[in-house]
Structure 1
Amino acid sequence: MSEAPPYGALVGALMALVVAAFVASVTVGYAAVDVGGAVADIFAGRSSLGALVLTELRLPRAIMGTLVGFSLGLAGAAMQGLLRNPLADAGVIGVSGAAAFGAVMAFYSGVSATFALALPIGGILGAGLAVALLYALAGRGSATMTLILAGVAINSLAGALTALALNLSLNPYAAMEVMFWLMGSLADRSLSHVQLAAPLLVVGWLMILASGPALDALTLGEDTAASLGFDLGRVRLLLICGTALAVGASVAVTGAIGFVGLVIPHLLRPLVGGRPGRLLLVSGLGGAALVLGADIGVRLVGVRPELKLGVVTALIGAPFFLVLLWRLRREA
């Protein structure tokens, strides 16, 4: 078995990869833009076409891709560490489905037509409601299996309510718009979306990263982790609320972008020696690189209308998931 690379070198390499993908995301687009000239125009205060394309379209898209990818990769590693299940991701606790339902209700009620940020705000409220319902059902000091069952119930309920809203929609065009949004995309996102989601994402990241040592201890079992001085109820609260903030805000702004939190931790886990605490940061960076890379691929394909990012990540992640299931079955 090959030795894991030094942790600092791994983090540095992933950071360099994210920076390269970010620069490529700003550079690549449907129309040729002199990026250097556009940057000069921005600093000079000139409202050229290139400066507008950069600040209104490409830069918000690249920033949002980085933030959302980091959140999904980080949350996936956190859930796999908490539940000690390699098939877990943020959808297990019902946050993704509830955030999607909150955004759909903003569509369905017509509020999104009068208030530009109603859609992401609705998604964030849906994610918060999911966490409140999760703890109402399971309780703060509940066992891990109880949290999983409560999360599955919330996810099923949110999915059913979303389908009901689509079924009862009187406007077929509105229903189609909702379905396209649910597929996930970074297109047409503005700096207002970034400003709305970024504070919630950062708070969620800090809550998850603070739980790294406890996740390492949980690999020895819950009883051992408790004997080492970790308050498991507090750890679960930090991880679940942090995941709700990070994933809920992401889904609220970009729609559902699946499989990132499942694929990335599996690819990077051998490089950190299987330590869940160290996997958190590198999974976040890997998720950012994957989402940025997939979004660049969406633009390079040249299909019109543009392929949805969530569809592309599903095409990448679903075969990986099947291979993983087959491998786990053979090992069992």
Structure 2
Amino acid sequence: MKVGFIGLGNVGGKLSGSLLRNGIDLTVHDLNEELVNAFVERGAKRAESAVQMMRDCDAIITCLPSPAASDAVMQQMLPEVGPGKIWMEMSTTDEAEVKRLGAEVIARGGAAVDCPVSGGCHRAATGNISIFAGCDRATFERILPFLTTMGRRILHTGELGSASVLKVLTNYLATANLVTCCEALVVARAAGMDLNTAYEAMKISSGTSFVHETESQVILNGSRDISFTMDLVKKDIGLFQEVADRADVPLEINPVLIDIFNDGIARYGERELSPNIIRRLEDATGLDIRAPGFPAEMSDDEPEEPGYEVIPQGKELEAAE
């Protein structure tokens, strides 16, 4: 099966790299010709347009920065959709939007999947990231070989759109974790604690989290580099708020997070690295939240292995039937 990949940015470039590294017949497209050239030099094929990619490939993956970008690309490709074509949306997007575009794909005889990823760019680079997939079971079985090439833990979340809901939910949790880790580290410094010791105390305790064990390290290094920016955080928690609003859930914490990141963007710019939200507290206290011995960026030391489907707890018997 021929796979096309549109969007070779921080995440897309790593996911498509896993496909290419593992021998998938890959065609790529991006507005940045330098990124495309780098893939062509490694053996990928170049698509002159999104239209050509949909025409020539069996499965087309989009990994783009916003729902609007995905819509613009899909409007170009839709006339070429027909039976046997699969659209895989790996962007972090809105549930309603992926359902709308997916319905257009399905109406033309194709199949649609929302399959966002979670776990950080360092795990995307090694093929060890987690992937959610929302689609009918038959389509999931067709694309599972690609998903297990790009990711380690693959979760079939249900119908189209369900993966996007869970993605923005998990990104909300990561954002809340980031803000609380920032506050904890600043309070630790203000209270006279050694930050290396504070990091370990948080790590080995009930207060630990994936975010602490990754983002707190680059915060303490001072680089604050996880290849993710404040505008993307604002988009993600905004999408989570939209899901909550549609479901009439009166959230309390997420609106505060939105205010915090709006303020961070106003102070430092929308393309500021997201862990630098801690600068708001550093500026307010005059404290420098850095410590020796932490990496400037995260790397994944887990060896690359074939991925597998994760069966939700309590559904083992159902999966065996």
1 or 2 for the larger relative contact order (CA 8 Å, sep ≥6)?
1
Same fold (TM over 0.5): no
> Going by fraction, where is helix more abundant, 1 or 2?
1
Point out the structure with the larger strand share. 2
- TM-score norm. by structure 1 comes to 0.26
